[in-house]
């Protein structure tokens, strides 16, 4: 049994509860904060869980405060868990130049292999194994899981699902960094976390993983056409090409006029929640 997390805050929301907790992560070697929304149905018994992975610079608070997901999650009877985006705290190294796109707030949901990052930056193991084990041990949730995310978190959601057949019942993403081994954000992070050998980067690139995927979970991906990061960083066309080549089901929706912000996420989050509910409840 894992040690019970320490509650930091609780807010009533649409008949359920939004709660924030702190716990000691053995995987990351530091204290971590996460949020969980428990719908009213959780008072009667275990409910399924959507894990949400946020993007660069974010914490658990961005999605929970800005996406407007609680109303429909309460109606559908789905819990939502939102972890932080990187390890934090004294002794956890950040970007040596203080940049916002690497280090603190930018864990990229990989298991780092290079110094000084490999001790703490193991967000993949944390998201896939440690955090769900904690949540399932201490909250009224089932082991029916799905995963979604935005930008860096969209990359993380796709990678976690593709690398773990049978673990998640559904996957979706908003504006994911779809081909990180071939874009500036990913190249910077992967070179430091994983080393200079580019072949190792492909283990963490959704476009590369799709070809060998043994499970064909349908991918729901929304991408704003007015997203300032679209061409250089996000590369949805590479995701489409990889899915077409592998015969992997993809619903890539290009949304005219929408950018990279939470206004975009809030506009389409209901579609994603219903996508996940159909698999989690079905």
What pLDDT, on a 0 to 100 scale, did the predictor assign at position 119? 97
> Looking at the chain, how many residues does it have?
282
The alpha carbons of the chain give a radius of gyration, in whole angstroms, of 17
Query: How many distinct structural domains can be found in the chain?
Result: 1
| Separation CA 160–CA 157 (nearest Å) | 5
Q: What backbone torsions phi and psi does residue 124 show, to the nearest 5 degrees?
A: -65, -50
Do 241 and 46 contact (CB within 8 A), yes or no?
no
Q: Whole-number mean pLDDT of the chain?
A: 97
91-128 per-position pLDDT tens digit: 999 998 899 999 999 999 999 999 999 999 999 999 99
| Separation CA 76–CA 279 (nearest Å) | 12
Identify the domain containing residue 173 by its residue range: 6-281
What pLDDT, on a 0 to 100 scale, did the predictor assign at position 2? 66
| Separation CA 270–CA 246 (nearest Å) | 29
* Catalytic residue numbers, as ranges: 151, 227, 260
Position 1 in a domain: no
Dihedral (CA of 118, 130, 47, 171) sign: positive
Position 238 in a domain: yes
Alpha-carbon 191 to chain mean position: 21
Domain holding 98: CATH number?
Answer: 3.40.50.1820
- The pTM of the full predicted model, rounded to 2 decimals, is 0.97
- Which residues in the chain show pLDDT less than 50? none
What pLDDT, on a 0 to 100 scale, did the predictor assign at position 3? 80
């Amino acid at each position: 049994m894992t040690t019970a997390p320490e509650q930091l805050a609780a807010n009533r929301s649409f008949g359920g509860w939004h709660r924030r907790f702190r716990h000691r992560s053995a995987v990351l070697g530091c204290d971590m904060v996460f949020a969980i929304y428990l719908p009213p149905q959780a008072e009667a018994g275990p409910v399924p869980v959507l894990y949400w992975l946020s993007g660069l610079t974010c914490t658990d608070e961005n999605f929970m405060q800005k996406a407007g997901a609680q109303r429909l999650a309460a109606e559908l009877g789905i819990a939502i868990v939102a972890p932080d985006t990187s390890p934090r705290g004294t002794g956890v190294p950040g970007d040596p130049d203080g940049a916002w796109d690497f280090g603190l707030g930018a864990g990229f949901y990989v298991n780092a292999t290079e110094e000084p990052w490999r001790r703490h930056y193991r967000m993949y193991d944390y998201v896939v194994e440690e955090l769900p084990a904690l949540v399932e041990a201490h909250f009224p949730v089932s082991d029916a899981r799905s995963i979604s995310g935005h930008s860096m978190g969209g990359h993380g959601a796709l990678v976690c699902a593709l690398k773990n057949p049978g673990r998640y019942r559904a996957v979706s993403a908003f504006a994911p960094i779809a081909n990180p081994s071939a874009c500036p954000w990913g190249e910077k992070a992967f070179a430091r976390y994983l080393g200079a050998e580019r072949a190792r980067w492909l283990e963490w690139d959704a476009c590369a993983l799709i070809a060998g995927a043994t499970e064909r979970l349908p991918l729901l991906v929304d991408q704003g056409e007015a997203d300032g990061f679209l061409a250089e960083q996000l590369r949805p066309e590479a995701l489409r090409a990889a899915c077409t080549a592998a015969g992997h089901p993809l619903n890539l929706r290009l949304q005219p006029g929408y950018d990279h912000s939470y206004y975009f996420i809030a506009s389409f989050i209901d579609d994603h929640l219903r996508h996940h509910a159909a698999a989690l409840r079905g």
